[in-house]
Amino acid sequence: METCTGTAAELVKGFSSLPNAVLELKTKSADVEGLLELNHNGHTVVSWSLNPQEIIDMEEHGTASLPKRLEAMKVVVNAGYLVGIHLDPMILYQDWRRGYKDLIEMIFNNVDARRIAWISIGSLRFNPEMKKTIESNFPSSSITASEMITGPDGKTRYVKPIRVEMYKFVFEAISRYNDKFPIPIYLCMERQEVWKRVMGYSPNSTAHLDHLITKSLLKRYPELFKNVLDIRQ
């Protein structure tokens, strides 16, 4: 917990004076009090991994509720931070369309889109040996019961048609809110073919994706990177 270690606060202070760097703090908690009075200089993005409340109740034991995470996001935005959204890992369940549609609506009803630095979308994935550990430690969980396959990267994940269907649904739902303040949206740990089927394009590499996100940050928040090489063209 940040209240015990203070590690995040020290990182925020350190990055605040680095002209060409951005720190991302990613959490499922609502423990943000230690960040509010810091001089972050806009160089920290506080990000949340979000899922529908049903999934939080069933699978994300010991984490903050969705309303508490959204309230914490509003608090850090009021303290001048940018925020990141990670719809990752998306988890397949019976009513997933309604759940993720409502989740996206709640995000944009609670958080100013102008302060969202990026949004990532990804699905449940784990090393094959983790399946027995999950089933042993959480026997009531059904997250390993869906049809899954082990890919070239050694990770077990939902089969491609299911992943594409989930990603397209969420991407299209986000796009309804994303016209006035275009937020970069990216797929996490997916190949170019999946990108093209979901979004109609694909970055050439991880470095190219980093370039696209940095380009978006420079365009939307030029005051944050006064000394960085201009790559907006």
Sequence-separated (6 or more) residues with CB below 8 Å from residue 182 = 216
Tokens in use for 134? 């999950």
CA distance 82 to 44: 7
Mean pLDDT on 149-169: 94
Beta strands in 112-174 (DSSP E): 116-123, 125-126, 148-150, 156-158
As to burial, measured by CB atoms within 10 angstroms (0-12 exposed, 13-18 middle, 19+ buried), residue 144 is middle
| Domain-wise residue ranges, the chain | 2-125+160-224
pTM: 0.92
Mean pLDDT on 182-193: 94
pLDDT of 227: 56
Tell me: pLDDT of 231 over 60: no
Q: Are 147 and 162 in contact (CB under 8 A)?
A: yes
Half-sphere exposure of 157 (CA within 13 A, CB side): 22
Sequence-separated (6 or more) residues with CB below 8 Å from residue 200 = none
CA-closest candidate to residue 74, choices 110, 44, 102 = 110
For residue 131, report the phi and psi dihedrals to the nearest 5 degrees: -60, -45
Mean pLDDT on 85-95: 96
- Architecture of 2-125+160-224 per CATH? Alpha-Beta Horseshoe (3.80)
pLDDT of 233: 44
